[in-house]
Every structure is written in C-alpha cells, then in structure tokens.
Structure 1
C-alpha cells in the first residue's frame, strides 16, 4: 500500500490507525472488519504500509485491483541453503583478520 504518512516518530495512536485501516480495507473485500482481523496475521505499520494475510486467490486478485494497493504477492516458503554461514565470514578488526569457525562437526 506504499509508504507510511505518519512520519519518523509515530505515536501509538498513529500505529493503531494504520492497523485499523488495514482491517477496514480488507474488510471491504471479505465482508467485515472482524473477518479481516482473523485473516491478517501481521500489519506493517512503521516503514511501509501493508499487511500479511491468509487469502484465497479471488480475494487476493480483487484486492490487487484496488487503487490504493501497490502490489499483492504470494509468500512462498523458502528452503534453507546453508547452516554454515559463519564458516566463511572473515572480518578485519584493528588490522587483524578474524575468521569465525564453526564448532559443529
């Protein structure tokens, strides 16, 4: 839904207002704000204006057509590619190169 309009130091009332606007917008597509509260599992209220919700394909397609909606996309699960990221990280501190080694076997 784009950028936030409340500025850098929002009040709790500002953040609540953003969340309520998410319930109202989604509620207009799913029948009520109460149903929207059940479907939304996270509201982005600080840096971006948006929410994450469990929707069927038709609901997502309908919302995507709304003029205030920037984008709608499917959140896909991702497979972990590595569990050994620290094995190859080398950092420099005061001219000394540090290499982190995993204690795993």
Structure 2
C-alpha cells in the first residue's frame, strides 16, 4: 500500500468515525501498520467498539486490528443544577424548611 493511499484511508476512517459512528471519535487513534488498520484508544460502550469497527470496514479496510479498550467507569456529564444544590446546603446551615 502506497503512502498516499495510507493517508487517504486514514482520513476516510477518521471522517467515518467523526460522522457519528462512535460517541467520542477523538479518543480513537487510527494507524496503518503494513496492510492492517489498527484502532486504539478508550471507548465507553461496546456499541462504540462495534461502531468503530463498522466505520473502518465501510471504508474498504480488509484487515482491521481492533485494540480498543472499554473503560471500566463512565463519567457522565456534569450536572450544574445538582452541583449548585450540593454547594448551597452545607451541613452547618440547614435549609429554611427544616424543622429546628
């Protein structure tokens, strides 16, 4: 496989990943070793692993080595409303509706 072909293939796979195949496409690295496409990185669901493999297959990759790691802990988005509620009621200052 020529160098130009490798660059186009990497770009095609990267574009397929970023089009919505996985939740966080930037967490996946796409490399080409010989005639094999290698996917590495950390994803947060089995669906992301399947989506990354499908995206690479759709780009015409015959040999794909999937070295993606499934994260053990998923960190959800920060809930600003919840955080504000936690910070506004310290243990030494009970809310006004609490009985005394």
TM-score, normalised on structure 1? 0.40
State the structure with more CA Rg: 2
TM-score, normalised on structure 2? 0.41
Which structure has greater strand proportion?
Answer: 2
